[in-house]
Amino acid sequence: MSDVFAALADETRRTLLDRLFVKNGQSLTELHHGLAMSRQAVAKHLHILETANLVSVHWQGREKLHYLNPVPLGDIVHRWVGKFEEARIEALSDFKQQMESASNPSRNSKPEEKRHARK
């Protein structure tokens, strides 16, 4: 997983992933278009993305097409982001309950009144 984080650390590689998200199956020439770097530099970035399994390659004749592989990103979301998301949702739910209790104090006092009335 560390190779995925290392690959995502570079802005150029994130840009390449964004481009593949918009249009999957691009050649080196297409991905290089509009970037202020050489084709060789783009190829090196793509190689790093391939090594991290974020990009898969398929040959179509003599043309090498690059495709986004979202699986490692999904693993990161489930492993790292998901556990923080659960805690945040639970905190929001608790906050909602506290606010509802504060805005309607009769909800809190009724059970106590019933207990005192029984004695």
pLDDT score for 75: 87
Residue with tokens 């207990």: 115
In the chain, where are the structural domains located? 2-69, 72-106
Q: Are 35 and 71 in contact (CB under 8 A)?
A: no
Specify the pTM.
Answer: 0.69
pLDDT, tens digit, 9 for 90 and up, residues 63-90: 999 999 999 988 888 887 777 777 778 8
Q: Which CATH architecture has domain 2-69?
A: Orthogonal Bundle (1.10)
Percent of the chain with pLDDT over 90: 58
Using H for helix, E for strand and C for coil, what is the string for 38-74?
Answer: CHHHHHHHHHHHHHCCCEEEEEECCEEEEEECCHHHH
- Write out the H or E segment, with its range, that includes residue 5: helix 2-8
- Report the pLDDT averaged over residues 41-54: 97
Mean pLDDT of the chain: 86
Q: What is the pLDDT of residue 84?
A: 75
